[in-house]
């Protein structure tokens, strides 16, 4: 290993970083694609704190170098492509880039940008993130557009949190005989001892991920023919298709479905929109590495 | 006035009390219906505090006596019918009744009980409270049943808060071109400088009454033919009719619509359910006085 490193003395190191709210991932490689290493550290949410995010990002990059036999002294050779939530907020991104970064050069984009670029390396395509929340982004002709992504209170139709919340509301309606009870509403009410006031207590402090914990049950019951579960998913799928059709209208040649609910929704989409769905070519770290490669000097030796 | 009071020495005084979250109202009268007085004091929410509720209730009763030339010394002659939110929670109602009440006797029921009894003095009928929240109650043959009333997160379909929330969600969809913008979504977006992230910020701390502040706009725009406003109200009216039909199924001979949105929804109900709607005979204080009268000894002189 040390021989190959020696042979690359002076060569730039490309590093992709995906900085999320719970963890920061870094992947380092040589310009020709040869892997160096990967590392995962803690939160890199600049919305929660620029300094802590910086520290976890630097630690992740250094960890990836160390895995490949390099180290702290090589940070100054790194061309870093960073995807961070909050990077679209000018004040935050300026403060972050003004912080003391030890890298040769740094390119910063939104987390959704690197996810979309990783899925579609040629820069033409869209992603639909279908998880606890939902978000849609499209890249085409160098232009990056987001659709939705307003969170639990204002958007997130069809998200895991939305599904769980709708299911709980139906359970309360079933309790009051306002809708016909089904296996879904029976199962949900049983989890709250048959008492809607316990659902009320749960909802007072429930976070989106808490609501989302009921989403798998909705899919399970729908597959078993449950009328209420099917109704909830029919509405959710309509809302998701609205967004997917908008991505097509915005010029997306292909759409990749990401997130935990992606395979479950993929089966429910209409043939028309399914024709636009394609698996992602790579992940967000691949997108971050594409971003890092834009920092390479044109005349640098390969 | 003092002459008639002297003539009634020893007669019981009936007092109805409607104890709400923001104010406590009391109405006192003689057994033959002759008015004594009324008084309004502060919050009487036993869920927030039994002692403070007790103090405001006693002060309201005393204030009603004072208005009719009576006073503190007459509290011990009072037969008090009390309607309080939270009275259906055994622990709370026991603690409240165990507190040092200066009245001759006290009867306690839920706030919805006295509202329903006031609307239907013969004890057969239902009320639908259509305001910032929604709640439905029916009394028939001495049995009192509530339907819904689970609050903003779990129920309240068709409430002012629900209407405002749905309208804000549609505004975000219109911003992203996922639905066709209308006068309603344009007006809402304009209030947030055209920026859905400002709606997100608003919703982070919005209380039901904050969402409810947009409900009048939904009705206004629907009256002007706005497709999105009309769609929201169509869904809301369906949900409200579900509950009203349930009240009929539970035996309600008549249903009175109460709350700020009652007149607006009344126009939208189907002819079938409209046939069951009747104006309330009296208000919640009238219902509380009916409750107070149940405390009269059968052999008492008129």
Q: Do A197 and B150 lie within an 8 Å CB cutoff?
A: yes
Q: Which of A153, A173, A246 faces B176 most closely, judged by CB atoms?
A: A246
Average per-residue pLDDT for chain B: 92
pLDDT at residue B175 tops 80: yes
Taking contacts as CB-CB distances below 8 angstroms, the residues of chain A near B197 are 150
Q: What percent of chain B has pLDDT above 90?
A: 75
For residue A151, the distance in angstroms to the closest alpha carbon of chain B comes to: 8
Q: How confident is the model at residue B1 (pLDDT cuts 50, 70, 90)?
A: very low
Instruction: Quickly tell me which residue has 């799928």 as its tokens.
Output: A237
Taking contacts as CB-CB distances below 8 angstroms, the residues of chain B near A246 are 176-178
CA distances from A48 to A54, A84, B63 (A): 11, 12, 54
Residue B170 and residue B69 share a domain? no
β-strand partners of A13: A30, A78
Tell me which DSSP letter residue A124 carries: -
**B171 located within any domain:** yes
Q: How confident is the model at residue B9 (pLDDT cuts 50, 70, 90)?
A: confident
Q: Using DSSP, state whether A16 is helix, strand or coil.
A: strand
Tell me which DSSP letter residue A77 carries: G
Q: A267-284, pLDDT tens digit by residue? A: 999 999 999 999 999 999
Mean pLDDT (whole number) for A179-188 = 98
Residue B289 and residue B264 share a domain? no
Q: Using DSSP, state whether A43 is helix, strand or coil.
A: coil
**A300 located within any domain:** no
**Conformation bin of residue A148: beta by default, left when phi > 0, alpha when psi is -120 to 50:** left
Residue A289 and residue A234 share a domain? no
ipTM above 0.85, yes or no: no
**A149 located within any domain:** no
A135 near B CB under 8 A: no
Mean pLDDT (whole number) for A280-294 = 96
What strands, in cross-sheet order, belong to the sheet with B143-147? B143-147, B134-140, B125-130, B255-258
Tokens of residue B217, six digits: 């706009």
Residue A16 and residue A117 share a domain? yes
Tell me which DSSP letter residue A33 carries: S
Neighbours of A101 (CB within 10 A): 18
Residue B202 and residue B97 share a domain? no
For residue A202, the distance in angstroms to the closest alpha carbon of chain B comes to: 10
Give the domain CATH number at B108: 3.30.420.40
Residue A74 and residue A15 share a domain? yes
**B135 located within any domain:** no
Size of interface A-B (CB pairs under 8 A): 76
B180 near A CB under 8 A: no
Domain that holds residue B184: 160-274
Residue A17 and residue A68 share a domain? yes
Residue A262 and residue A288 share a domain? no
Q: Which of B150, B172, B204 faces A155 most closely, judged by CB atoms?
A: B172
Of chain A, the end-to-end C-alpha distance in Å amounts to 19
H or E stretch at A50: helix A50-67
Q: In chain A, which residue's Cα lies nearest the Cα of B250?
A: A177
Which B residues, 84 through 123, put their C-beta within 8 Å of a C-beta on chain A? none
Q: What percent of chain B has pLDDT above 70?
A: 96
What strands, in cross-sheet order, belong to the sheet with A143-147? A143-147, A134-140, A125-130, A255-258
pLDDT given at position A3: 43
Q: Do A151 and B246 lie within an 8 Å CB cutoff?
A: no
Q: A7-27, pLDDT tens digit by residue? A: 577 799 999 999 887 789 999
Residue A192 and residue A92 share a domain? no
pLDDT at residue A111 tops 90: no
Nearest alpha carbon to residue A212 among A152, A163, A264, A150: A163
Q: A254-266, pLDDT tens digit by residue? A: 999 999 999 999 9
Q: B235-265, pLDDT tens digit by residue? A: 999 999 999 999 999 999 899 999 999 999 9
pLDDT at residue A1 tops 70: no
Taking contacts as CB-CB distances below 8 angstroms, the residues of chain A near B203 are 153-154
d(CA A51, CA A49) in angstroms, rounded, equals 6
Torsion of CA A267, A269, A275, A277, to 10 degrees: -70
Taking contacts as CB-CB distances below 8 angstroms, the residues of chain A near B248 are none
pLDDT at residue A2 tops 80: no
Residue B8 and residue B115 share a domain? yes
Q: Do B177 and A204 lie within an 8 Å CB cutoff?
A: no
pLDDT at residue B194 tops 60: yes
pLDDT given at position B299: 62
Tell me which DSSP letter residue A45 carries: -
Q: Do B246 and A148 lie within an 8 Å CB cutoff?
A: no
Instruction: Quickly tell me which residue has 């809402």 as its tokens.
Output: B188
B231 near A CB under 8 A: no
**A6 located within any domain:** yes
Q: Using DSSP, state whether A252 is helix, strand or coil.
A: coil
d(CA B70, CA B34) in angstroms, rounded, equals 14
Residue A41 contacts residue A54 (beta carbons within 8 Å): no
Nearest alpha carbon to residue A127 among A290, A280, A24, A286: A280
Mean pLDDT (whole number) for B118-145 = 92
**A15 located within any domain:** yes
Tokens of residue A75, six digits: 């940070």
Q: How many residues does chain B have?
A: 302
Based on the structure, what is the number of domains in chain A? 2
Residue B288 and residue B247 share a domain? no
Residue B112 and residue B38 share a domain? yes
């Amino acid at each position: 290993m040390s021989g190959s490193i020696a042979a690359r003395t002076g060569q730039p190191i490309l590093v992709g970083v995906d900085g999320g709210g719970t963890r920061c991932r870094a992947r380092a490689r040589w310009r020709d694609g040869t892997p160096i290493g990967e590392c995962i550290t803690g939160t890199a949410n600049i919305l929660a704190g620029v300094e802590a995010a910086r520290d976890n990002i630097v630690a992740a990059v250094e960890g990836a170098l160390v895995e490949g036999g390099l180290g702290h002294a090589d940070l100054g050779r790194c061309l870093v492509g960073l995807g961070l939530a909050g990077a679209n907020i000018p004040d935050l991104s300026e403060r972050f880039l003004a912080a003391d970064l030890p890298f040769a050069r740094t390119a910063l984009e939104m987390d959704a940008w690197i996810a979309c670029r990783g899925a579609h390396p040629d820069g033409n395509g869209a992603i639909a993130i279908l998880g606890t929340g939902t978000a849609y982004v499209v890249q085409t002709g160098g232009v990056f557009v987001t659709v939705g992504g307003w969170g639990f209170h204002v958007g997130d139709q069809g998200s895991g949190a939305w599904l769980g919340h709708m299911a709980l509301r139906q359970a309360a309606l079933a309790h009051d005989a306002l809708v016909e009870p089904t296996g879904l509403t029976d199962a949900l009410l049983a989890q709250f001892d048959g008492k809607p006031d316990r659902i009320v207590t749960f909802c007072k402090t429930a976070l989106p991920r808490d609501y989302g914990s009921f989403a798998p049950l909705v899919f399970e019951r729908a597959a078993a023919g449950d009328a209420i579960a099917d109704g909830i998913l029919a509405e959710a799928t309509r809302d998701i298709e609205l967004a997917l059709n908008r991505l097509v209208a915005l010029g997306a040649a292909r759409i990749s479905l990401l997130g935990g609910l992606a395979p479950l929704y993929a089966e429910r989409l209409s043939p028309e929109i399914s024709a636009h769905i394609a698996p992602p070519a790579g992940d967000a770290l691949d997108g971050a590495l594409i971003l890092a490669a834009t920092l390479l000097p044109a005349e640098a030796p390969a």
